Structures are given as C-alpha cells and as structure tokens.
A = this chain, B = another copy of it.
Amino acid sequence: MLHNRVKELRARFGFSQGELGERVGVTRQTIGFIEKGDFSPSITLALKLAREFEVKVDELFWLEGDKSQ
C-alpha cells in the first residue's frame, strides 16, 4: 500500500491541483487521483513532484509499513 504527502505539501506551497498539475505536466484530475491514493504514479512524475516541493521522493511517497531509511 502506497502513501504520500502530496496534498499536505501542495497546501503548504499554496498550489491548486490545477497549478501543480501544470507545473509537473499532468492534469488536475491526475493530481487529485494521486492525493486520493487511487494509483501509483510513474517514478518520472514522482521525481517531478518531489523536485517541485524540494524534498526527496522517499519523503513524498512511501510503502505501508516501511519505516526504513
């Protein structure tokens, strides 16, 4: 099971779903689906999101029960 902090960080940066989507090259629905946990994005998109929020991918996405690192 995959978890993420996209919604939290997006709020912190004051982006709308549409704005964030535009910045990383996807639609607002895609951002919405990711926040909802509906699917596991590609590593390419995950890297772009992490870059946008200036965090490491591992801080943005993690697997259930994976406290490693």
Contacts and interface: CB of A to CB of B under 8 A. Distances in A.
A46 B61 CA distance: 10
Q: How many copies does the complex hold?
A: 2
A43 B48 CA distance: 12
Nearest to A47: B63
A57 interface: yes
Contact of A58 (B41, B58, B62, B63): B58
29 contacts: A2-B43, A2-B44, A40-B42, A40-B43, A40-B44, A41-B42, A42-B42, A42-B43, A43-B43, A43-B45, A43-B57, A44-B63, A46-B46, A46-B57, A47-B58, A47-B61, A47-B62, A47-B63, A50-B58, A51-B63, A51-B66, A51-B68, A54-B69, A56-B56, A56-B57, A56-B69, A57-B57, A57-B58, A58-B58
